[in-house]
A and B are shown apart, each in its own frame.
Chain A
Amino acid sequence: MDTIIRAENIHKSYRMGRERLSVLRGASLGIATGSFTAIVGASGSGKSTLLHILGALDRPDEGRVEFEGQDLRRFSGRRLNQYRNRSVGFVFQFYHLLNELNVLENTLLPAMAAVGSAGWIRSRTSRQEAACVLLERLGLGGRLRHRPYELSGGERQRVAIARALMNRPALLLADEPTGNLDSKTGFGILEVLKELNRGGQTIVMVTHDDRIAGLAEVVWRLTDGKIETE
């Protein structure tokens, strides 16, 4: 199976007051295309940091990330924006929806950010239709005009998933997607992710919960800033 994204010898440290805290100390991994991978580790072990580095939301101090064979270090700022917009989709623990936009608009956010005014006018109808199909598929067909604060936690997370999938990214990165939900709702979200994976979507999920990680095909464990497969 092809490797869609590969991280090699990733180092990352943060300044905590007067001291420097090393979070990642040479972490390396490869994610196969079409796989459902979980990265587990204790709280503060650097799981989210690794995920952010894979999604180009953060830069490693050392090491490199290759996406489909291309080194992210060689990407310009504009190309990195394109990468975040088209190649990866993020699902966050706290959903991170814009309260000023409704469900449909939140879902369309990556699509709107990707094109100019003229492009948006040309493609608006088709993109809105695609967003509606996506939301319908995630059980939010009747909530298109609702604002995030009018939704339950599970619904908000499904909107976040829809937004992450809007531009059909090759890689879906989920940071504790069930961390803020009750177990029943959380498993509902995991079912959605598994369903997406069965459809061919590559997913990398970060969690501290071994039971949740057990639902993934591949599990990587992050310990002492290094990563090992199980």
Chain B
Amino acid sequence: MMMFSWKLAIRYFLHRPASWLAAAAVALCTFIVIVVLTVMNGLAADFKQKNHAFVGDCVIASDSLVGFVYDRSFVETLESQPYIEAVSESVAGVGLITQPGANWNIGVQFLGIDSARHSAVTGFADSLYYHRDNPEQAFVPDYAPEQEGCVAGIDLIGGRRTADGGYAHPDRPVPIRLILSSFPLTARGALARGGTDLVSSKTYYVADDSHTGLPQIDGAMVYLPLRDGRLLTGMDSPVERISSIHIRFGPSVSLRQGVERVRGLWAVYLQSQSDRSYSDLFESVRVQSWQENRRSRIAAIEKEQKMLILLFLMLGIITVFIVFVIFYMLVGHKSKDIGILMSVGMGRHKIAGVFLKFASLIGFLGAAAGTLAGCVFLVYINPIEDWLFARFDFQLWDRSVYAIGEIPNQLHPDLLLAVAVSAVAACLAGAMIPAMQAARKETVQVLQVSQV
């Protein structure tokens, strides 16, 4: 009986053009869902990974521009923890950059760091071009080693962006001078160095550029030595301050566990510092995972992901409806067959089974074809886009606008399986009601002469 049901289902599939159309519709839906979700998930994962690389695993950061009191002993406490691999302090500020003799300026953020320590915690070294292998020399201009250097976000340096989304670098760094001006603040938030010296300015030679892949960072960030950062923000006096402490955990601890432990250490530390001067600055300090710290940036893309999944749920409903309509018509056309099968003793649930097997065939073949086509398309999506760009100057995302390198196309077996199984399930759902209708038909009525 089982084999006969399959045989009949296969014959129905092979002899009904509508079933090929249904399979094609399922294949198309599967293809679209796989391609779009793979690319979208890839973009989201890439964006998250870049944010993670920018701040490290855990951040103890102040919401305030005046930062919080720096205590080397607490950093040493962190460094002594077996689950912590590296720690880096940073100072953040805002300022203006210009070039000597120029009559323009650009508002920027700057980050004072110890480049070697920061590279141990974050992906800073990987974002460099000339000093990727020696980040401790990141602020030393190769063309003027005796001069003070900085690292500029790659989009702050004009002329690096190419039309295809890449960046071009000269073999050796070209001398570029930048003047960075900032407004140092006291620990209470007033302008420091009152009187004539309200603005701190320093001239730097650009030693390297940093490409994090985050447009907001690459287009507005200047990296400086930690001491310079303190000087420009006023965090050097009357007590040393910092904006944040970045932490990288070892592989033996999960992110959640690591953050909880650091929160515990921070709570103990705060208790011990309650009588200290400027201890009120600790009130604006948060211990956060990288996800919490970058939430405002990540939330937008996560929201888009959810919207996309909702849209594809609607696409799934359309698939169910297409299958429903096709099966509804098919059951109408196959009334005589249903009567014949009942007249030879086939039970009602077995009749329904024939149509459900037919639906699962459509789902399986459609899902297989759509998945295969989706995989092939994704494997070649970048060469296809390159070809379109070379021939027709077309890009899916204008790389001069969007900070996207290659289109993400990494195949995820779990996603492929989930989409394929959903496609088969959608077919079964669409065929369920018509199959039940088929099973409920009365033999005599469907075999009447008028039905033939």
- Taken together as a complex, chains A and B put the C-alpha atoms of A92 and B451 apart, in Å, by 13
CB-based contact A98/B344 at 8 Å: no
CB-based contact B345/A82 at 8 Å: yes
Cβ 8 A contact of B344, one of A99, A105, A113, A116: A113
- Taken together as a complex, chains A and B put the C-alpha atoms of A83 and B347 apart, in Å, by 11
Complex: chain A residue closest to B347, CB-CB: A81
CB-based contact A57/B342 at 8 Å: yes
CB-based contact B15/A100 at 8 Å: yes
Cβ 8 A contact of B12, one of A85, A93, A100, A113: A100
Chain B residues near A101: list those with CB within 8 A.
Answer: 8, 11
**A57-B345 contact in complex given A112-B1, A117-B3, C-beta closer than 8 Å:** no
Complex: chain A residue closest to B341, CB-CB: A113
- Taken together as a complex, chains A and B put the C-alpha atoms of A117 and B7 apart, in Å, by 11
Q: Using C-beta atoms within 8 Å of the partner chain, give the interface range for chain A.
A: 35 or more
- Taken together as a complex, chains A and B put the C-alpha atoms of A152 and B449 apart, in Å, by 19
Chain A residues near B11: list those with CB within 8 A.
Answer: 100-101
CB-based contact A84/B449 at 8 Å: no
CB-based contact B4/A81 at 8 Å: no
CB-based contact B1/A113 at 8 Å: yes
A21 adjacent to chain B (CB < 8 Å): no
**A115-B1 contact in complex given A100-B8, A100-B11, C-beta closer than 8 Å:** yes
Chain B residues near A86: list those with CB within 8 A.
Answer: 345
CB-based contact A113/B447 at 8 Å: no
Question: Which A residues from 52 to 108 make CB contacts under 8 A with B?
Answer: 52, 55, 57-58, 77-78, 81-86, 90, 92-94, 96-101, 105
CB-based contact B342/A94 at 8 Å: no
User: Which segment, of B27-35, B209-217, B228-236, B332-340, faces chain A?
Assistant: B332-340
Chain B residues near A83: list those with CB within 8 A.
Answer: 345
CB-based contact B15/A93 at 8 Å: no
Complex: chain B residue closest to A108, CB-CB: B4
**A112-B347 contact in complex given A96-B339, A100-B11, C-beta closer than 8 Å:** no
Cβ 8 A contact of A120, one of B4, B442, B447, B449: B4
A163 adjacent to chain B (CB < 8 Å): yes
Chain A residues near B3: list those with CB within 8 A.
Answer: 112, 117, 120-121
Chain B residues near A58: list those with CB within 8 A.
Answer: 442-444
Complex: chain A residue closest to B11, CB-CB: A100
Cβ 8 A contact of A57, one of B336, B347, B444, B449: B444
Chain B residues near A117: list those with CB within 8 A.
Answer: 1-3
Question: How many whole Å from A89's CB to the nearest CB in chain B?
Answer: 9
Among the interface residues B8, B11, B339, B345, which one has the most CB atoms of the partner chain A within 10 A? Answer: B345
- For the A-B complex, the count of residue pairs with Cβ-Cβ distances under 8 Å equals 85
- Taken together as a complex, chains A and B put the C-alpha atoms of A99 and B15 apart, in Å, by 9
- Taken together as a complex, chains A and B put the C-alpha atoms of A90 and B444 apart, in Å, by 12
Chain A residues near B336: list those with CB within 8 A.
Answer: 96
Complex: chain B residue closest to A118, CB-CB: B2
- Taken together as a complex, chains A and B put the C-alpha atoms of A93 and B447 apart, in Å, by 10
A4 adjacent to chain B (CB < 8 Å): no
A109 adjacent to chain B (CB < 8 Å): yes
**A110-B1 contact in complex given A98-B337, A100-B11, A100-B12, C-beta closer than 8 Å:** no
- Taken together as a complex, chains A and B put the C-alpha atoms of A8 and B343 apart, in Å, by 23
Question: How many whole Å from B182's CB to the nearest CB in chain A?
Answer: 80
CB-based contact A94/B339 at 8 Å: no
**Binary flags per residue of B329-373, CB closer than 8 Å to A gives 1, else 0:** 000000011011111111110100000000000000000000000
- Taken together as a complex, chains A and B put the C-alpha atoms of A85 and B344 apart, in Å, by 5
Chain B residues near A105: list those with CB within 8 A.
Answer: 7
A114 adjacent to chain B (CB < 8 Å): yes
Cβ 8 A contact of A113, one of B4, B348, B444, B449: B4
Cβ 8 A contact of B449, one of A94, A98, A112: A94
CB-based contact A110/B345 at 8 Å: yes
Complex: chain B residue closest to A87, CB-CB: B345
Question: How many whole Å from A77's CB to the nearest CB in chain B?
Answer: 7
Chain A residues near B12: list those with CB within 8 A.
Answer: 100
CB-based contact B449/A93 at 8 Å: yes
- Taken together as a complex, chains A and B put the C-alpha atoms of A51 and B8 apart, in Å, by 28
**Binary flags per residue of B1-31, CB closer than 8 Å to A gives 1, else 0:** 1111001100110110000000000000000
Complex: chain B residue closest to A115, CB-CB: B1
Chain A residues near B444: list those with CB within 8 A.
Answer: 49, 52, 57-58
B300 adjacent to chain A (CB < 8 Å): no
Chain B residues near A114: list those with CB within 8 A.
Answer: 1, 345
The 7 lowest CB-CB distance pairs between A and B, nearest first, are A85-B345, A100-B11, A112-B4, A117-B2, A84-B345, A110-B344, A81-B345
Can you offer 18 A-B residue contacts whose CB atoms are under 8 A? A57-B343, A58-B444, A77-B347, A82-B345, A84-B343, A84-B344, A90-B343, A94-B452, A96-B340, A98-B337, A100-B11, A112-B1, A113-B341, A114-B345, A116-B2, A117-B1, A120-B4, A121-B3
